[in-house]
Structure formats: structure tokens, C-alpha cells
Structure 1
Amino acid sequence: MAEPKRWVAALPMYNVSASLREDWATLIGLVADALAQGDSPVTLATEDPGTGPAALHAFWRRDDVLLSQTCGYPLMHGLARHVRLIGTPQFAVPGCEQETYRSAIVVRAGNGPATLSACRGARAACNSPDSHSGMNALRHAVAPLARVQRFFGEVIHTGSHLASLAAITEGKADVAAIDCVTLAFAGEHQPELVAGLRQIAATPAVPGLPFIASRHASAALVERVRSAMLAVLRSHPGLRTRLRLEGIVPTRVSHYQPIAHMARTARLHGYRELA
């Protein structure tokens, strides 16, 4: 399997603000500079993957992707055979431990439900049907309470965690499960989205959103990418702090089995869809 001569990269998962988008692009650029050095130079360029789940899924499956980031749920539902894992990020935010993360289940602070049980009949905001943090983790949390029946009065698919936060803040929804990394970035960059919210629960810890490359990249090249990323983070402490990215842990697809287990557990409760 021949490797492409030119590789592409995109890190779209935590672009909470224009400045963060620029920082992720800077990380890619510095990694590209490192890969261009040495006896076997590699060309890596940033490319816009497009917007929406369909565009992202198509981008992740491209043969020439050398650096991107995906959610663990699509990884365990068809994407794994197309990619190699570069590693799992270690974020320095509340809710993350080592390479794991959680979802925070949030409501309005003033008049929101006090417990998850009290959310029966409420309006749930969900960023995407293929999101672990926004759908799978919330489905797993609700499954024992639903008793095979519809639990929420309505499920609103918003398109992003930021839109879910806005929906609760604006009174269009009552509860959502939010990736704790996104929540921390939102608190820093868009504090108006979280100022009036309260966390009522947290979901179990699972490995965070993995950095990935195409299967067409050799294992040796993927190792070079991880090493280059770690070197950039060590040598640029300001960038590391702004991205809250402390490290990258080598992981395999098998590490993400807890995500698939949570989906199976919900199905065993008879609660197959978030509803």
C-alpha cells in the first residue's frame, strides 16, 4: 500500500473560538515543519474538512489524512478499519484524568431539573446522533431510568455542543451532555454560554477524542507524527497552555471498547435511541 506523497491535516473538534482555531492550525503548521526535516521529509498541509457530520466522516476516510481528530463513537462504528491511531490527548481540564474525559450533564441554574431523574419529560439537546459525549453517554446515563420507554419529552439535534449550550441558555432545551473539554473551552472563550448553567451529573470516564491518520500511513510515519506533536508541545509552552493539551498517549482501538460497552448496556435496557 503506497503512501501518498502529500498529506493533509485538520483538527476541527475543539474549534470553540477563532483564537483556538488559529492555535490548532499553528500546531499543525509546527508539526508540518518538523516532518519536513530529516532524511525522509514529509509534506503536510492544512485542509478544511468542511462542515457537518457527512463532510467530517468523508474527510476521516481519505487516504491522504495524516493528522486529524475524531470522536470515539464513530471510531467504534465503522471508522476504525480506515485509520491508525496517533494517540489520545491528555487535556488539563476538569473532568479529564490522564487520557480520559467525561461529559457534564448540565441544566439551567435557576429553574433547571435538580437531578437526572427529574429530567423525565424535559427537552434534551444533543449535538449529533453519532457523538459519544452528547448522545451515547447521555443515552447510557438515562437508560436505567427510561425503563424501555421514552424518557425525554423531546430530543433536539443542535449540530454542536456550543449550540446545545445556547439552546439551554435561551430556554429552547432543558438538559444536555457536554464534552468536558468543550465545556472548559466555552467557559474561557464564550463564558456567556455557561454562566447560567449548572452541572447535575457526570458520565463515566472513557478515552478522549483520538488523533488519527489514514491506514495508508505507515506505523513508522504515525510514530513520527506523535513524536513531532509532543516535541512541539514541549517547546511551545504557551501554545500547550492555550490548547490545554498536556500530552498524547499511545493507544489502540481496543482502548475505546468502553464506548461500545456503554452503547450495548443501553440496548440491554431496551433503550436503543436517545428519546
Structure 2
Amino acid sequence: MSKFVAALPMYDWPEMRGEVDAQWARLRDAFRQRGIDAPDAVVRSNRELPAVPGGILDDVGKPIAPDPATLPPDELDFHQLWLSPALLFGQTCWGPMELGLTQHVQVISQPSYDVYEGGQGELYSSALVMAADGGPSVVAPGDGKAVIPLDLIRGKRFTFNNPDSMSGLIGLTRDLEAMGESLDIFASRSESGGHRSSIVAVAEGRADVAAIDCESWALAQRFEPAAKGVKVVGWTARRKGLPYITARTTPEKIITAMREAVASIESGSEQPLVQRVG
């Protein structure tokens, strides 16, 4: 049994489990071909994370996360996963990275978003969705610049997935600031807990506006019935997508081998892999 853990949790919708498992199998086999002790399967719960008696410590011995064994076993705490000293391969968001995670992990590579509207290479953007009114959706701009319909969203109720989300909150905040506005443009703000939940909230009339990253929006159009009840009214600017990461203690030779493995995988899946570092 491998001493490492791996996870691809950011787009691991129930309907996507088979595709996520297949993506990991491709990565796992490519890693093993290069002598890396990759685990058989991805983890999806706290109980699958190795126990860390006394909690997870940083480089100077300061506690930064509790022992995974003390957390609800059937849930998966993303920050706990990201900070696990056993993390071989995972995925996070640049929101948490900018808010402090970057000092505790190492970036392996970036995925490609070429197959999604609103994506280009390692860059992605978010679709601004509101309730469908029979009109057409706004097409993602080719230049990757923000298209923010201030007249439509002013005074509306905004919902976002998580406070540390680049795609759901931070990116839109920066785009508004670049226009001389702020989140105060909205009548209210609420946290939904996930992009899918934000789409449902807008479709059901519990919120008016949400920013959904382009891959999650593509998944919603495949799997979420509520997506038919909303339409795209704008787009945030393109930014770096969700990076693949490993623990800060992963040796450089293993990281180099993983980068080589990622680069070797053919781009033919739902989310092609590209070797882009940083």
C-alpha cells in the first residue's frame, strides 16, 4: 500500500466519479512508470487520510491543521487534504493559495481549459449567471477580458460558493474594482457552499447572480437540471486555473518525475493535462 494519498476533488461531482477515477488511473500509471509510489485510488473522505497524532505542523512546528482522525470521517475537508504531509497529488484553487496555502505546498502543473467555453490553456474564467428570461446567453469574449453587466447586477442578491474561491468571489471582486466598483454593488451576499448550489439558488429564486467557473458551468449543463433555469449574462476575466499540488515535503526528484508524467499524457480527456508550472 502506498504511503501517499491523491485526490482530484475540485470537479469530483457524483456524476463525474467514473471520469475522475479514469483521469487518476492515467496519472497513477504514468507516475508508477517513473518509479513513484502512487496510490491505487483517490481519497474522498477524511477517514482515508493518514492520521497525524498531535495535528499537522508547519516548518517551525506551529499547528496548521488538526489530526484528520478527529474530523467527521464521511466528509472531506479540502484544507486538511491540501495540508496533509502524505499528499502526493491534489488540486486546489489560487484563492486558498494566495491566502496562505502556497507556503505549505508545491505546485506541480496546471490543467488546460481549452475544451471549455471561457477557457484558454491554463487560464479559465467564470460565467456570470442569472435567471433565464428567454433571451440568449452571452458568449465568452475571445480576448479573455471581463464582461460585467453592471446595469443588470446592480442591486441584486449575489451568492458565491466559498469565501476563498477565486472563480466564485475573488476574481469577480477584482474585476469590479478595476471598474471602480465593489461587491457593494449587490443588495446582499450569501455563501452557497458550492458552484452547483449557487446555480440551484439562482434557478430557484433564492439569489439573483452567481459566478461559476467555466468547467463547473460545463458540468452543470451536463448534469444539473437547474442549469436550464439560468443563463449567462457576463464573464469574469481569464485567470490561472486550479493548480495541481503536492506536499511541501515531497522530494524534488519526485516532483520532476510527476511533471514529466503529466507532460507525457496525451490530451484527449474531458480535462487535458498540460505541464505549466507556477
Q: 2:165 aligns with which of 131, 138, 142?
A: 131
CA drift at 1:145: 6.5
Say which of 239, 251, 258 aligns to 2:277. Answer: 251
* Counterpart amino acid of residue 118 in structure 1: L
Amino acid at match of 2:252: A
Structure possessing the higher relative contact order (Cα contacts under 8 Å, 6 or more residues apart): 1
**Count of paired positions:** 237
Q: Name the counterpart of 2:88.
A: 66
Contact 1:99/1:249 (8 A) holds in 2: no
2:84–2:247 Cα contact (<8 Å) kept: yes
The structure richer in helix per residue is 1
**How far off is 1:224 after superposition?**
1.9
**DSSP 3-state at the match of 1:94:** coil
Structure 1: which 5+ runs fail to align? 253-275
Structure 2: segments with no counterpart, 5+ residues = 47-71, 136-147
Alignment partner of 1:84: what SS? strand
The code of the aligned residue for 2:211 comes to: A
Residue aligning to 1:181? 215
Deviates more, 1:22-31 or 1:158-167: 22-31
Equivalent residue number for residue 193 of structure 1: 226
- Name the amino acid aligned to 1:97: Q
The percent of aligned pairs where both chains have the same amino acid is 29
* Structure 2 equivalent of residue 11 of structure 1: 8
**1:149 and 1:35, CA in 2 relative to 1: closer, same or farther beyond 3 A?**
closer
Q: Given that residues 156 and 208 in structure 2 are in contact (C-alpha distance below 8 angstroms), is that contact kept between their aligned partners in structure 1?
A: yes
Which residue of the partner structure matches residue 138 of structure 2? none
Counterpart Cα distance in 2 of 1:250 and 1:144: 27
Aligned mate of 2:26, from 27, 30, 44: 30
Name the residue aligned to 2:255. 222
For the Cα contact (< 8 Å) 2:45–2:76, is it kept in 1? no
Does structure 1 residue 210 correspond to structure 2 residue 243? yes
- The answer as to whether partners of 2:173 and 2:182 remain within 8 angstroms in 1 is no
Matched residues in 1 for 2:29 and 2:87: separation?
Answer: 16
* Cα separation, 1, equivalents of 2:187 and 2:179: 14
Structure 1 residue 55 and structure 2 residue 88: aligned?
Answer: no
**1:104: which partner in 2?**
127
Aligned partner letter, 1:35:
F
Question: Quick one: distance in 2 between partners of 1:149 and 1:131?
Answer: 15
CA distance in 2, matches of 1:193, 1:70: 26
- 2:118 is paired with a residue of what secondary structure? coil
AA partner of residue 250 (structure 1) = R
The alpha-carbon distance between structure 1 residues 96 and 148, as it changes in their structure 2 partners (threshold 3 A), is closer
